[in-house]
Amino acid sequence: MDSIEIKGGVPLKGEVRAGGAKNAVLPMMAAALLTNETCRFTNVPKLRDVDSMCMILRQLGVRAERVQPHTLELEAIDESPCLAPYSLVSQMRASICVLGPLLARRGRARVAMPGGCVIGTRPIDLHLKGLRALGARINIDRGDVIADARKLRGAEIYLGGPHGSTVLGTCNVLSAAVLAEGITTIENAACEPEVEELCRFLKKMGAKISGIGTKRLKIEGVTSLKGAEHSTIPDRIEAATLLVAGAITGGDVFVRKARADHLAAVIDALRQIGVKITEEANGIRVTSNGKFKPMDLTTLPYPGIPTDMQAQLMALLAVADGISVVTERIFPDRFMHIAELGRMRANIRKEGTSAIVIGVKYLSGAPVMASDLRASAALVLAGLVARNTTHISRVYHIDRGYERLERKLARLGARIKRLKT
């Protein structure tokens, strides 16, 4: 198992490029099940989650090939398999995205229930509610979701739960409704840029969707879809993580491809914390003097502060000059990083769904353990500013969602290396 070693204290300087968005490409890959023609994706990041989705799609009769390092071709050559087994689904929750397309195109699906993970319980009741409204019969048997539908019919669907809209739930229902008979409206649809991107891709395939980017999607079903080509949008979470890396080290970093229109809430938070953010042509520059003001922040559905940036911003606030309150509204239990940051001398206390972050003068490098993707990113950021050496184990979590993070940071001057064991 690889680990990462960081000797902190170097202000990062230079330019780095944000890659394609993991959370945009995964549902689009699943949508390739909606046709037997070839779908081609460019700017696809080389990540473990993308590989896991390829494995699931292969199991479902899809030819999945990286024809170039960042170009992926998918073609459903055998449309009879309908089983996504637990051994593959358990590696990545986003595999639930195949449920809607399978049902719409093949009329049946057996997909293992993804179960919980370290960031919380992560139910799929809204996915199932939406698909049932379209006419699917759904049962849970021996840990699998078993769904079938001779014909899906358009319906009016409200997709909201106790924590607001659902990103992958919207993707799933949308990807089924495109082939349903008649009109579907999804109320309280998630409006994250990744959902918008799926809509754009489905439209290229021939789907009829309006209200893209809003909370009310209207889908007019069509009888078939064709293959399409699409370039993946830049990863807003990777971009924001790199901006925090520049900020926390008191550096000067230009993140090429970072899109300010996707990052308004994060940019606003960084400015409140005292970091200088400048929008430049084709990217965002961060400059910081290494002194940070505390702030209270709350994660919210888009366009609010993304839950996927909560841990990284907490690492930054851990070295701010004062007390901050970080409230998690999407995944109330997503606080595994608190204990590990504590090993690095951070002073953070969990109070219900909030964390009270009492800024400290410095963090101290320590052996720490990555627990999930974004928590691991927070530990890397803390390691970049900590005194002495930080050693992060279980970095396979980072590889799920950041392509060669340590190389990108090393090019900016960080003393960081991957240790192979």
Distance (Å, whole) CA 192 – CA 1: 34
117 counts as catalytic: yes
Nearer to ligand EPU by Cβ, of 36 and 188: the residue is 188
CB 377 within 8 A of CB 339: no
Closest CA to 297 of 306, 287, 288: 306
In the complex, the smallest distance separating the C-beta of residue 94 from ligand EPU, rounded to whole angstroms, is 4
Asked if 127 interacts with ligand EPU (CB under 6 A), we say yes
Q: CA-CA distance, 59 to 131, in Å (whole number)?
A: 22
Residue 399 CB, shortest distance to ligand EPU, in Å, is: 13
CB neighbourhood size of 140 (10 A): 11
Which residue number, 305 or 316, has a Cβ lying nearer to ligand EPU?
A: 305
When binding is defined by CB under 6 A, the residue of 167, 198, 295, 378 that contacts ligand EPU is 167
With CB under 6 A as the contact rule, the residue among 25, 373, 398, 412 that binds ligand EPU is: 373
Q: How far is the CB of 99 from ligand EPU (least distance, A)?
A: 11
For residue 193, whether the previous peptide bond is cis, meaning omega lies within 30 degrees of 0, is no
Residue closer to ligand EPU (CB basis): 124 or 225? 124
Q: Catalytic one among 117, 171, 191, 199?
A: 117
Q: Which of 22, 53, 52 is nearest to 193 (CA)?
A: 22
CA distance 277 to 286: 5
Question: Which of the stretches 53-61, 103-111, 181-189, 304-312 binds ligand EPU when contact is defined by CB under 6 A?
Answer: 304-312
Q: Which stretch binds ligand EPU (CB under 6 A): 105-113, 158-166, 339-347, 406-414?
A: 158-166
DSSP string, 328-396: -SSSTT--THHHHHHHTT-EEEEETTEEEEE--S--B--EEE--SHHHHHHHHHHHHHSBSEEEEE-TH
Footprint (CB under 6 A) of ligand EPU, residues 310-369: 330-331
- Regarding 401 and contact with ligand EPU (CB under 6 A), the answer is yes
Of residues 105, 228, 217, the one with CA closest to residue 208 = 217
> Of 10-18, 161-169, 317-325, 409-417, which segment contacts ligand EPU by CB under 6 A?
161-169
**Is residue 163 close enough to count as binding ligand EPU by CB under 6 A?**
yes
Q: Which three-class secondary structure state does DSSP give residue 176?
A: helix
Nearest to 251 by CA among 290, 277, 284: 290
Q: Does 288 bind ligand EPU (CB under 6 A)?
A: no
**Do 33 and 100 contact (CB within 8 A), yes or no?**
no
* Shortest Cβ 160–ligand EPU spacing (Å): 9
Residues 180 and 136 sit within 8 Å (Cβ to Cβ): no
Closest CA to 74 of 114, 112, 101: 101
By the rule CB under 6 A, 131 interacts with ligand EPU: no
Q: Is 215 in the site for ligand EPU (CB under 6 A)?
A: no
Residue 307 interacting with ligand EPU (CB under 6 A): yes
- Asked if 126 interacts with ligand EPU (CB under 6 A), we say yes
Binding-site string for ligand EPU from residue 3 to residue 32, where x marks contact by CB under 6 A and - marks none: --------------------x--x------
**Candidates 50-58, 118-126, 221-229, 285-293 — which segment interacts with ligand EPU by CB under 6 A?**
118-126
Residue number with CB closer to ligand EPU (386 or 398)? 398
Q: Find, among 145, 204, 143, the residue nearest to 169 by Cα.
A: 145
Buried-state track 229-255, b at ≥16 Cβ within 10 A, e below 16: ebebbbbbbbbbbbbbbbbbbbbbbbb
94 binds ligand EPU (CB under 6 A): yes
Total binding residues toward ligand EPU, as defined by CB under 6 A: 27
**How far does CA 7 lie from the centroid of its chain?**
28
CB of 264 to ligand EPU, least distance (A): 15
Residues acting as catalytic residues = 117
Footprint of ligand EPU on this chain (CB under 6 A)? 23, 26, 93-94, 120, 122-127, 161, 163, 166-169, 190, 194, 306-308, 330-331, 373-374, 401
